Structures are given as structure tokens and as C-alpha cells.
Amino acid sequence: MKEVNEMLKRERIIEILKETGVLQDGHFLLSSGRHAGKYLQCAQVLQYPSYASELAEGIARLWSDQKIDVVIGPAIGGIVVSYAVGQALGCRAIFAERREGRMTLRRNFKLNPAERVLIVEDVVTTGGSVQEVINLLEEERINVIGISSIIDRSGGKASFNYPFKPLLTLNIESYPADDCPLCKKGIPFTKPGSR
């Protein structure tokens, strides 16, 4: 475990997310059909190892009062960030993945009940994938210490039976297409990922 420094500040986290194109301002048509003034693509920041490390160290600091033996992330979003947090904590990092719709440990990854496990995800939207990892670990009687994500965008809806410490909580408002303040201003919208 590295030395405990001061917490990574919200302003710095947002700066990194804007600089790397994770957090975009504009007028977007979401896959749900709703419109929004912000768009989030967390994978963008993880293509830069130095930024990924900085965020991961921020997550590691949130757990500096705990001994963590293993970090686990749900594939695919959680793989890189859990690896980076494992590096920051100086412990193992593995990932769980779905097989036939069921979250499992493959590739001969193993946990033993004596190990203290931290679950790490990139973005928590509904918390579904994290809950699947929790279920998997509970079935194996693994000691879950808590959950972290770079971003919690659930609007407070995601909650778990373990401590949840996101690095950043974001509320991204969205609007019905026929009642969107950005449309009313005449701003053209774009569909993210379509280019």
C-alpha cells in the first residue's frame, strides 16, 4: 500500500474526465431516446495509463483504512480499472465475466474465503453488474470489503449491502425528446458513438 495522500479532489477528477473526452458537453440523443446536455464514456480515460493510475490511486486512498487482498472487476468495463486499483494497492487484480448470462470466474482465477476482496467498476449506472459480482462472491463465501467505481451516475439508486465509495458522483439530467430545453433553444443534437 502506498502512502496515504490527500483525497483526489472533485475538480481534478472532472478536469481529467473532460480532458480525456469522458465527459462531453453538448446536446445528445441517448440510446434510450431521451436527450441530455452531457454524455459519459468512461473507457476514454482508461486509454491513458497515467490518468488511469491517478484515478486508481484516488480509489485506493478511499480504502486506506482496510486491508485489501484482491480487487475484482466485472468485465469488460471493470477490467482495466480494477487492474489499476490493484497496482495502486499492491495486491492481485482479477475479473469476473458472464458466461451464458451468468457472472463467473474463468481463466482459473481463484479466491479463497480468507481473502478480503474489493469490487471495482468503471461506471455504476444501475449497479446490476456489481450486484452480480457480489452474488458470485457470496455464493463462494468470499469476504467482500466494499465497492468502488470511478463514477456513480445512478443518482443514488445503486445501493449494496456493503460500503460503496465512488470516486465521483454525477447526476446527468436527461429529458424526453418532446420536452427538451436544448431543443427549445434550437441547438442541434448528435448521437454519441455514431461517428
C-beta of residue 172 within 8 angstroms of C-beta of residue 154: no
Can you tell me the distance from the alpha carbon of 5 to that of 15, in angstroms, rounded to the nearest whole number?
A: 19
* Binding letters toward Zn ion, positions 132-171, x by CB under 5 A: ----------------------------------------
**Phi, psi torsion values for 176, nearest 5 degrees:** -65, 145
Kindly tell me which of 113 and 176 has the beta carbon lying closer to Zn ion: 176
From the list 2-10, 31-39, 53-61, 112-120, the region that binds Zn ion by CB under 5 A is 31-39
Q: Which residue has the cell 485506493?
A: 60
Can you say how many angstroms the Cα of residue 28 is from the centroid of all Cα atoms in its chain? Answer: 21
From the list 9-17, 49-57, 87-95, 174-182, the region that binds Zn ion by CB under 5 A is 174-182
Q: Closest approach of Cβ 182 to Zn ion, in Å? A: 4
Close Cβ partners of 105 (under 8 Å, ≥ 6 residues apart): 94, 96, 111, 136
Give the H or E element holding residue 74.
Answer: strand 70-74
Among 16, 20, 35, 55, binds Zn ion (CB under 5 A): 35
Site residue total, Zn ion (CB under 5 A)? 4
Close Cβ partners of 61 (under 8 Å, ≥ 6 residues apart): 4, 5, 7, 8
Kindly tell me which of 43 and 183 has the beta carbon lying closer to Zn ion: 183
Q: Closest approach of Cβ 171 to Zn ion, in Å? A: 18
Closest to 78 measured CA to CA, from 111, 112, 124: 124
Interaction of residue 36 with Zn ion, rule CB under 5 A: no
Q: Closest approach of Cβ 28 to Zn ion, in Å? A: 8
Q: Closest approach of Cβ 175 to Zn ion, in Å? A: 6
Q: Which residues bind Zn ion (CB under 5 A)?
A: 35, 180, 182-183
